[in-house]
Structures are given as structure tokens and as C-alpha cells.
């Protein structure tokens, strides 16, 4: 009896194995250490740099614009809610030396006493988050040097009363750490160090700051973006500067919408920062959201590809 | 009692041997390649994956293809990013798969070159659609090489192209498949 059962069982097992699913015979080898892509869609959020770089032989042309105050004493209907003015305009070109190293040049109007800014910068992404989490975050280094081409002012206490060429220079160093938590949500933290060779009287030459930013996808092509910068100031100097100028320092906060049209990335944002460049908005944002001193801003970025198409 | 056990083990072994012989009906292709080509007024787009997997059974005519969407390589990396992020949504639909049947599959048992119809369901972007195409099979010493080409209409798989890039991406994409089974 038992032996019959055994025979029957083995026949059944034979049949099952013979009809083995072709499905199981396919073992897909995915690309190894696959990298997470599109943590952010562009090299900038609003005021913040992201870990994104452009690829080798690509060029990114971007225009940033900040209008005047929407509300407050300088805003309102008389200047069409800030649209009559521009506090800062920046035009920049970035180029991909490799997929992870970008160099750039830019010209900005400048929004503090120091104007006519020329910037040279480098971004190097040296770690990329992987899908298997063996590398949990992407990390990039950003460094920029800004030189002011304006005529030195006579006003002795001004940040623009340059005496030597070196007085015109300021430097920004950032470590950008980012993680894409899901297909629709990414977060970044940006410890920053700012050095200005020359400042207004009794202002800080060196300043640490920390930036945080995030991107949340609303739909396939539209995302909500926000960023915030917290500078660490010496309280005595801050107090002195605020008394002398009669203006308070605020932290830069930006919120906006990012639209991806395929090739173009378009940002529409609101921020209290008047300046676009890190060397200025981190240290000298004197406008407050609470007083209606925030503004429309937009960034348009267009990528060009100089890679020759390989036939094959 | 012991005898019965030994007997059943022997039988099982025999059975497994038999299935091993049976399995030669199924052939696997580890590195099949799938490429596609889109020709639009403003831009030609080409991408290829050599990491696709395929298996076929010459007895039943069953054939399966499977490919990871992220394994497609483009000349322009920005395109590759857009392909995964905006069009294929590869985080939601990581795989594309074809499951079908080869007609007159019994021909594949003998050496020679045959043009046979293959029909089945192709899943792209999470949407399945029936396809039928003629594929060329070349059989030599039990190894099979297969080539097939067919058109995929993006709208059939709910892949939407915004009008702003409509002149850069064709509505119908040509797909080419090559696989070597042994």
C-alpha cells in the first residue's frame, strides 16, 4: 500500500518538475550598484545648490531672476507687486568636465552694497546614492569665488570701499549631502562656509551656515521645492550691525514649484532673499517674510548636449 | 519498511533524471538584447539593453522575454533619465515582459532557418497588449538564434508624450530583439 503511494507521489513530482515554469529559468542581471537618479532635477533648488551635476560635454545655461518686494513698504500695487523691480539677476553657464565634475562661470547684478559680480565655481559629486543602499547618500562639494567689478565707494564703512584687489573677493565652500527617500521625495543638508575678504565695518569675515532643502513631487512633472538657510552669526557683531544700519538680519527661506518640460527646468518661487549668490544671501538677507518682503523669482535652466552621437 | 523507503528514493531519483532529460526542451538566453529606435522630426532616439533574459520551450512553443527598464542605455544620459523618470516610470514598473507562443515550434527541433509567427502579450509601463510578429529562428546543433522586430505604439501602453516634446519623440517606436539560446 505504502509503496504504491510512493510510486504515485514520485510520478506526480515528475510531472510537476517537467512542466517547470520558463519564468523561473530567467535570471535577470541588473546593472550592478545601480545609482539612484534624479534626486533633484536641477543643480539648484531655490537658493540652495543640489548634488545634481550635468553630464560630460553638456552645458547648462541658466537665468535666475528675483523681483522686488511683493508687499511691505516697498511693494504693493505701485510697483505691481514687485514686478517693476529686480533685486538680482544672475546669468550662468555650467559645463560638465566629467559626469561628476562641473565648472561654471556667472555674472550677477548683486543685491547688497557689493555689486557687479563675476563668479567662477566648481562642483564635484564624489558619492552617489545607490539603489541597494550600499551608498546611502549622494555627496557633492561646491566651491565658488566671487569678484566684484564695481568702482570702490568713498564711504569708508561700506563693504564696497575696496582698497586692494583682494578686497573684492569672497569665497563659498559647501558640502551638499542629499538622499532620495522615495521616488517622490528628496531631502538635502548643506553645511556651508563663507569667507569675505572685506566686509562692512565690524561685520563678520567668516561665517558658517547650514542649509536644508527638499523636493516633493506633486505630479510626474511638477514638484514642490523649499529651502532654508540658517547662518551662525556672532551676536555682538549682529547687534552692532543691526543698530548701525537699522535693518535686521533674516534667514533666507524659499518655496516654489519646479516644472520639468523635458530639457527645460522651470522654477517659479517665492523667497525673502534679495540676492541669488550664496556669498550674499546667506550673510545679508535683510528682508522678512513677515513684513511682506518676499518676492517672485524664477530660474530657467536649459541643457545643451555636445556629445557626438555614436553610430552603432 | 526500509525497503519501501529505498524503493521510493530510487524512484524519485529516476523521476528527477527523467525531468532533467525533459528540460532540454527549454532553452535559455542569458544576455538577450533589446533595442528600440524612435525617429521624430527633431530627434532620433536609440537605446539598447544587453541584459535582457529570455527562455523558450521548443516542445510547447512557449517563449518569455524579460528586461529591466533601467538597463536600457542611451547615448545621451539626460534622455536616459527622462526615459526612466518621465515616460517609463521605472520605479513603479521596473520590468517589461513578453509572454507568448511560437507557432509551428516543432520545426525548431531540426537544424535550419525558419520564419515563424510569435504571438503573445507584451507588458510595458504596466499595460499589457497583444502582439503578433514573424521572428526568424536559426537552429544549429540544438542552439537557437532568434531575431524579431516590431512596432510599439506608445499610446497603447499609456506612455504619454507632452505636446511640447512631441516633435522629438515618435508615436510609434521600432523595437528589435536578438537572443541566442543554448
Q: How do the domains of chain A map onto residue ranges?
A: 33-305
CA nearest to A143, candidates A90, A91, A193: A193
CA nearest to A61, candidates A106, A12, A15: A106
Q: Which pLDDT does position A221 carry in this prediction?
A: 85
Answer whether residue B17 shows pLDDT above 50: no
- Collapsing DSSP to helix, strand or coil, A281 comes out as helix
Query: A33-305: which CATH architecture?
Result: Beta Barrel (2.40)
Query: How many Cβ atoms are within 10 Å of B168's Cβ, its own excluded?
Result: 17
**Beta carbons of A31 and B91 less than 8 Å apart:** no
The length of chain B, given as a count of residues: 182
Q: Which pLDDT does position A312 carry in this prediction?
A: 34
What tens digit of pLDDT does each residue of B108-147 get?
989 999 999 999 999 999 999 999 999 999 999 889 999 9
Q: Which pLDDT does position A53 carry in this prediction?
A: 95
Q: Which CATH number characterizes residue B56's domain?
A: 2.40.128.110
CA nearest to B68, candidates B51, B54, B82: B51
Q: Which pLDDT does position A220 carry in this prediction?
A: 82
Q: Which structural domain, as residue segments, surrounds residue B31?
A: 25-181
CA nearest to B136, candidates B152, B105, B114: B114
**Chain A positions in Cβ-Cβ contact with residue B164 (cut-off 8 Å):** 261-262
Rounded to a whole number of angstroms, the distance from the CA of B53 to the nearest CA of chain A is 6
Q: Which pLDDT does position B40 carry in this prediction?
A: 87
**Beta carbons of B82 and A27 less than 8 Å apart:** no
**Beta carbons of A262 and B15 less than 8 Å apart:** no
Is A4 in CB contact (< 8 Å) with chain B?
no
Give the whole-angstrom CA distance, residue A81 versus residue A138. Answer: 39
Q: What is the pTM of this model?
A: 0.81
Q: In this prediction, what percent of chain B has a pLDDT beyond 70? A: 87
User: Quick one: which H or E segment has residue A14?
Assistant: helix A2-18
Q: How many domains, chain B?
A: 1
Q: Which pLDDT does position B182 carry in this prediction?
A: 85
Q: Which pLDDT does position A149 carry in this prediction?
A: 95
- The average confidence (pLDDT) of chain B is 87
Residue B42, phi then psi, degrees to nearest 5:
-95, -20
Q: Kindly give the residue spans of alpha helices, DSSP state H, lying in B23-87.
A: 77-82
Is A1 in CB contact (< 8 Å) with chain B?
no
Q: Which pLDDT does position B4 carry in this prediction?
A: 63
Which residues are within 8 A (CB) of A137 and not within 5 positions of it... i.e. 6 or more apart?
Answer: A127, A129, A177, A178, A179
Q: Which pLDDT does position A7 carry in this prediction?
A: 59
Q: Which pLDDT does position B7 carry in this prediction?
A: 65
**Beta carbons of A26 and B71 less than 8 Å apart:** no
Q: Which pLDDT does position B21 carry in this prediction?
A: 44
Q: How far apart are the first and last CA of chain A?
A: 67
Q: Which pLDDT does position B37 carry in this prediction?
A: 95
Rounded to a whole number of angstroms, the distance from the CA of A303 to the nearest CA of chain B is 9
Is A132 in CB contact (< 8 Å) with chain B?
no
Residue B105, phi then psi, degrees to nearest 5:
-65, -20
B53 falls within a domain: yes
Regarding predicted confidence, which is higher, A10 or B53? B53
Return the residue of B nearest to A2 by Cα: B4
Which residues are within 8 A (CB) of B147 and not within 5 positions of it... i.e. 6 or more apart?
Answer: B135, B136, B176, B177, B178
- Collapsing DSSP to helix, strand or coil, A151 comes out as coil
Answer whether residue B100 shows pLDDT above 80: yes
Q: What is the mean pLDDT of residues B46-71?
A: 93
What tens digit of pLDDT does each residue of B19-30 get?
444 456 889 998
Q: What is the ipTM of this complex?
A: 0.71
Considering only A46-60, B89-103, B164-178, which range has the smallest mean pLDDT? B164-178
Residue B20, phi then psi, degrees to nearest 5:
-60, -40
Q: Which pLDDT does position A23 carry in this prediction?
A: 82
Residues facing residue A214 across a β-bridge: A187, A226
Residues facing residue B98 across a β-bridge: B65, B122
Residue A164, phi then psi, degrees to nearest 5:
-120, 165
**Beta carbons of A6 and B7 less than 8 Å apart:** yes
| Residue A265 and residue B86 in contact, taking contact as beta carbons nearer than 8 Å | no
User: With a cut of 50, which residues of chain A have pLDDT below it?
Assistant: 15-19, 310-312
Q: Give residue B2's pLDDT band: very low, low, confident or very high (50, 70, 90).
A: low
Q: Which pLDDT does position A153 carry in this prediction?
A: 93
**Chain B positions in Cβ-Cβ contact with residue A20 (cut-off 8 Å):** 19, 23, 26
Rounded to a whole number of angstroms, the distance from the CA of B22 to the nearest CA of chain A is 6
Q: Which pLDDT does position A34 carry in this prediction?
A: 85
Give the whole-angstrom CA distance, residue A245 versus residue A280. Answer: 16
Cell 504515485 maps to which residue?
A8
Q: Which pLDDT does position B47 carry in this prediction?
A: 95
Amino acid at each position: 500500500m505504502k509503496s504504491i503511494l510512493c510510486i504515485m507521489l514520485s510520478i506526480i513530482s515528475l510531472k510537476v518538475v517537467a512542466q517547470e515554469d520558463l519564468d523561473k529559468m530567467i535570471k535577470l542581471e541588473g546593472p550592478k550598484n545601480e545609482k539612484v537618479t534624479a534626486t533633484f532635477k536641477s543643480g539648484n533648488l531655490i537658493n540652495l545648490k543640489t548634488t545634481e551635476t550635468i553630464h560630460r560635454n553638456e552645458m547648462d545655461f541658466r537665468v535666475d531672476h528675483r523681483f522686488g518686494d511683493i508687499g511691505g513698504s516697498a511693494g504693493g500695487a505701485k510697483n505691481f507687486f514687485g514686478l517693476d523691480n529686480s533685486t538680482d539677476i544672475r546669468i550662468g553657464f555650467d559645463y560638465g568636465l566629467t559626469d561628476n565634475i562641473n565648472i561654471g562661470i556667472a555674472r550677477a547684478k548683486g543685491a547688497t552694497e557689493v555689486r557687479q559680480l563675476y563668479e567662477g565655481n566648481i562642483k564635484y559629486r564624489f558619492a552617489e546614492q545607490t539603489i541597494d543602499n550600499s551608498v546611502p547618500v549622494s555627496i557633492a562639494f561646491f566651491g565658488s569665488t566671487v569678484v566684484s567689478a564695481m568702482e570702490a565707494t568713498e564711504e569708508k564703512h561700506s563693504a564696497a570701499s575696496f582698497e586692494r584687489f583682494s578686497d573684492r573677493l569672497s569665497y563659498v565652500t559647501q558640502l551638499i549631502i542629499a538622499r532620495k527617500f522615495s521616488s517622490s521625495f528628496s531631502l538635502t543638508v548643506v553645511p556651508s562656509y563663507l569667507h569675505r575678504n572685506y566686509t562692512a565695518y565690524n561685520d563678520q569675515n567668516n561665517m558658517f551656515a547650514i542649509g536644508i532643502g527638499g523636493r516633493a513631487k506633486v505630479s510626474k512633472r511638477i514638484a514642490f521645492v523649499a529651502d532654508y538657510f540658517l547662518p551662525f552669526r556672532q551676536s555682538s557683531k549682529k547687534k552692532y550691525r543691526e543698530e548701525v544700519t537699522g535693518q535686521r538680519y533674516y534667514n533666507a527661506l524659499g518655496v516654489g514649484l519646479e516644472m520639468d518640460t523635458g530639457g527645460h527646468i522651470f522654477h517659479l518661487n517665492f523667497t525673502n532673499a534679495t540676492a541669488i549668490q550664496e556669498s550674499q544671501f546667506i550673510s545679508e538677507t535683510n528682508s522678512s517674510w513677515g513684513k511682506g518682503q518676499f518676492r517672485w523669482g524664477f530660474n530657467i535652466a536649459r541643457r545643451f548636449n555636445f556629445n557626438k552621437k555614436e553610430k552603432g | 519498511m526500509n525497503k519501501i523507503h529505498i524503493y521510493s528514493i530510487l524512484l524519485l531519483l529516476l523521476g528527477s533524471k527523467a525531468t532533467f532529460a525533459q528540460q532540454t526542451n527549454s532553452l535559455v538566453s542569458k544576455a538577450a538584447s533589446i533595442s528600440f529606435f524612435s525617429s521624430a522630426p527633431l530627434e532620433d532616439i536609440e537605446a539598447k539593453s544587453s541584459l535582457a533574459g529570455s527562455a523558450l520551450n521548443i516542445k510547447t512553443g512557449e517563449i518569455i522575454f524579460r528586461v529591466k527598464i533601467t538597463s536600457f542605455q542611451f547615448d545621451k544620459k539626460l534622455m536616459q533619465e527622462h526615459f526612466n523618470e518621465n515616460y517609463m516610470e521605472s520605479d513603479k514598473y521596473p520590468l517589461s515582459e513578453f509572454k507568448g507562443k511560437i507557432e509551428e515550434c516543432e520545426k525548431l527541433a531540426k537544424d535550419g532557418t525558419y520564419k515563424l509567427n510569435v504571438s503573445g502579450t507584451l507588458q510595458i509601463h504596466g499595460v499589457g497588449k497583444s502582439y503578433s510578429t514573424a521572428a526568424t529562428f536559426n537552429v544549429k546543433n540544438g542552439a537557437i538564434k532568434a531575431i524579431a522586430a516590431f512596432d510599439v505604439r506608445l499610446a497603447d501602453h499609456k506612455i504619454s508624450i507632452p505636446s511640447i516634446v512631441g516633435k522629438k519623440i515618435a508615436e510609434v517606436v521600432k523595437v528589435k530583439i536578438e537572443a541566442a539560446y543554448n
